[in-house]
Amino acid sequence: MKDASPAKPYALHLGVIALLFALSFVLPDYHHGLLARIMVLAVFAMGYNMLFGYVGLLSLGHAMFFSAGLYGAGLAVIHLGWSVPAAFAAGILCGAALSLVIGVLALRTSGVAFMIVTMMFAQVFYLVILYFASWTGGDQGMVVPQPARVLGFGATSLDLTNPTVRYMSALALFSTVLLVTLAVVRSRYGRVLVAIRENEERTKMLGYDTFSNKLAAVVISGTICAASGAAYALLFGYVGSSFASVQYSILPLLWVLLGGAATTLGPMIGTLFMYYIVDITSGYTSAYLLIVGIALILLVLFFPKGILGTIRQRWLGWLP
């Protein structure tokens, strides 16, 4: 943030988006499909980063926001027969509403207590999904039927199960959230969030209602994560409780820490890294988790602030 000139960061981000667009035409099928999935989950990580990276609030409960979107959209299609846009909106709304409630309660705490409270609320959410298994399909989950996953525009329609459409939809969501994140981070509001992270007491004494600002950040973060969940349900056709389990709260944390907290592109890098290291190593050995574990430790030893975070610190100070 030392360099106030916006040209470089925007050029970089647009470049990344353009690269991802171009990749759609050259990637082999498998990587094409995998990248679509990574982009959707990177949105989850970006939503997480919004709160963790910029406001400094470590939540271990973001799986609930992701799955609020997942179930909000998925169940709207399955039980109510809603169209894709309506279901997507429903998923996002569920995430926004849930994050508002959770925010109001959890923000009474801070630090490790915030971490544990969010984890417990997420656990409640997970159990609620199991408890209402007759609607949610419990741990088995439910399939969002293929015919329902079509986006109609009058006469023409876009089939979200078509790989290219899916890739482009994922890219559209990813780009939107990336640019929104960049804009928020560079905005006055973003400056306030960072100020809260750096010194909340001081920020209060500059006339900021830090509670409301943090609450807004929780809601923005939760909503972005819900958008990712809703997109996941609609693009990949499955809703299930494993996405609400604690692993899916730890994963975005891991992705963000790997890529670099409080960097706009870090979440994507972290998600990409984690996905490919699992994918590649599992092809060579059945004991791939060992290699993943060692890789994580090596990475954190040499890139203590995450990949992009360390690059920014050492070489490219202008990275947003």
Partner 1 sequence: MMPLLTTKGLSRNFGGLRAVANVDFAMMPGEIRAVIGPNGAGKTTFVSLVSGRIQPSSGMVVFDGADITNLPAYARVRLGVAYTFQITSVFANLSVYDNVALPVQRTLTDGRSKGAVRTGVMAALERTGLADRTHMLAGQLSYGHQRLLEVAMGLALKPRLLILDEPTQGLADSEIDNFIELVRDIARSATVLLIEHNMPVVMQLADRITVFNAGKILAEGTPEQIRANTEVQDAYLGATP
Partner 2 sequence: MHKSKTFDLSKTGLTRRTALKGLAAGAGLAVAPGFVRYSQAQSSAPIKIGFQSHRTGIGAAYGRWYEKTTAAAIKAINDAGGINGRPVEVIIEDDGTDPGRGAEVVGKFATQHKTDIVFGTLFSHVVIGSAPAAGEAKMPYFVVSEGHHVASTKLNRYVFQPGITDVKSQIQAMAPWIAANAGKKVTQIFPDFAFGYDHRDYLPPALKAQGAEVIAQIAIPPTESSFTKYFPQIPAETEVIYHVMVGPAVLTFVKELGEFYGSNRPQLFGFIDSLEATDINSPGLEFLDGSHFWEGSPRYAQPDDSAAQKAYRAAVGIDDNGAAVGDPKDVSTAAHMFGCWETLYVVKKAMEDAGYKGPEDRAKLVEATEALTEFAEGHEHPQGPKTFNGKIHQCFGIQNISKVEGGKLKVVHKTKIEDGLYEPEGDYTTQAL
Partner 3 sequence: MHFGPHLLLAALEGLVTSAVLALMALGLSLVFGVMRVVNVAHGEFFMLGAVLAWAISTAISGHPALGFLAALVLAPLIVGAVALFAERLVLRRLNYNPEATIVATIGMLYIIQQLALTFYGPEARPVEPPFSYRILLPWFGYSGYKLSVIAASALLLAATWFVLTRTKIGLIMRATQYDSETAQAFGIPVDRVYAGVFALGAMLAAVAAVLIVPISQAHYLMGQDPLLLSFIVVIIGGLGSLRGTLVAAVLIGLSDGIISVFFSPTLAKIIATLLVAMVLVFRPQGLFGTASR
Q: Which does 18 bind (CB under 5 to 8 A by kind): partner 2, partner 1, partner 3, none?
A: none
- Segment contacting partner 1 (CB under 8 A): 40-48, 124-132, 185-193, 236-244? 185-193
C-alpha closest to that of 227 among 157, 178, 164, 190: 178
Cβ atoms 271, 42 nearer than 8 A:
yes
Q: Does 124 bind partner 2 (CB under 8 A)?
A: no
**Using CB distances below 5 to 8 A depending on partner kind, what does residue 135 bind out of partner 1, partner 2, partner 3, none?**
none
Q: Nearest distance from residue 85's CB to partner 3, in Å?
A: 33
201 binds partner 1 (CB under 8 A): yes
From 7-15, 111-119, 214-222, 234-242, span contacting partner 3 (CB under 8 A): 111-119
The stretch near partner 2 (CB under 8 A) out of 4-12, 22-30, 212-220, 297-305 is 22-30
192 is an interface residue for partner 1 by CB under 8 A: yes
Helix (H/G/I), strand (E/B), else coil: 22: helix
CA distances from 170 to 4, 138, 161, 193 (A): 30, 27, 12, 28
Q: Are 247 and 259 in contact (CB under 8 A)?
A: no
Crossing angle, helix 247-259 and helix 62-80, to 10 degrees? 120
Nearest to 52 by CA among 304, 210, 206, 222: 222
CA distance 262 to 256: 8
Of 8, 79, 108, 202, which lies in the binding site for partner 1, with binding defined by CB under 8 A? 202
Residue 145: DSSP 8-state: -
Restricting to residues 274-303, name those near partner 2 by CB under 8 A: 279, 282-283, 286, 288-289
Region for residue 237 given its phi and psi (left: phi exceeds 0; alpha: psi -120 to 50; beta: otherwise): left
CB of 58 to partner 1, least distance (A): 18
Residue closer to partner 3 (CB basis): 172 or 292: 292
C-beta of 289: minimal distance to partner 1 in Å? 36
Task: Give yes or no for residue 123 binding partner 3 (CB under 8 A).
Answer: yes
- Cα–Cα distance between 207 and 250 in angstroms, integer? 34
Crossing angle of helices 163-186 and 188-198, in 10° steps, is: 70
Positions in the binding site for partner 3 (CB under 8 A): 105-106, 108-113, 115-117, 119-121, 123-124, 127-128, 130-131, 246, 250, 253-254, 257-258, 261, 287-290, 292-297, 299-301, 304-305
Q: Which residues bind partner 1 (CB under 8 A)?
A: 1-4, 188, 191-192, 194-195, 198-199, 201-210
